[in-house]
Amino acid sequence: GDSVTQMEGPVTLSEEAFLTINCTYTATGYPSLFWYVQYPGEGLQLLLKATKADDKGSNKGFEATYRKETTSFHLEKGSVQVSDSAVYFCALVHSTGGGNKLTFGTGTQLKVEL
Q: How far is the CB of 91 from other proteins (least distance, A)?
A: 8
Alpha-carbon distance 7 to 20, whole Å? Answer: 10
Alpha-carbon distance 37 to 47, whole Å? Answer: 6
- Tell me if 81 sits within 8 A of 99, measured CB to CB: no
Near other proteins by CB under 8 A: residue from 46, 78, 79, 81: 46
Q: How far is the CB of 96 from other proteins (least distance, A)?
A: 8
Q: How far is the CB of 3 from other proteins (least distance, A)?
A: 11
Cα pseudo-dihedral 74, 77, 89, 111, rounded to 10: 130
DSSP state for residue 78 in the 8-state scheme: S
Q: Interface with other proteins includes 100 (CB under 8 A)?
A: yes
DSSP, collapsed to helix, strand or coil, labels residue 83 as helix
Interface stretch with other proteins, choices 11-19, 21-29, 32-40, 75-83 (CB under 8 A): 32-40
Binding site for other proteins (CB under 8 A): 32, 34, 36, 41-46, 49, 51, 89, 91, 93, 95, 98-107
